[in-house]
Structure 1
């Protein structure tokens, strides 16, 4: 379901991630989303969590450059920008105005995001 929702998000934006569309794309019955993720926000949170887990794994593969902290900072920044450009739909799903709350399946809350609600 996460992969199907991610594809729909990338192809048509947040409005395309409907219960029926995700279920059809994943080859499941619509109630499966509710059993696994709860509401739409739960699914979008799982999509964002999955995407950023991939991002962090890739970022951790970058060899540190302790001799040149400026280069290390630039490489880190370039990695963040490249990820955002390559995954614009994910970036919008994971910020305020995307998903209304910041809890993934793990129940963790991302501090400072959506706190004004």
Structure 2
């Protein structure tokens, strides 16, 4: 549960951090490979959290939503060059993963139980 909560906080904060990156880039040098390295850490952690939720509450849709978001994040990081489309795909993926974690957390606590 702590892993799911930590990942949800990460995914909710990521869009805010991404919005601050252009301003921070004037002060801090962030390599282009940073997104790929963070993604290589985030994918297994998110998968563990979402699969754990699925095992507990049995709802498949948060896992599918999270998988779609992670797929978009991977496409943005590994298949698209930097630009408007890459940013849109990455932000959309981050939002989907955040929504999946929020749904997973709600279902695990019985708020969305049928």
Do they superpose with TM above 0.5? no
Q: Which has the higher helix share?
A: 2
TM-score, structure 1 as length reference: 0.35
TM-score, structure 2 as length reference: 0.36
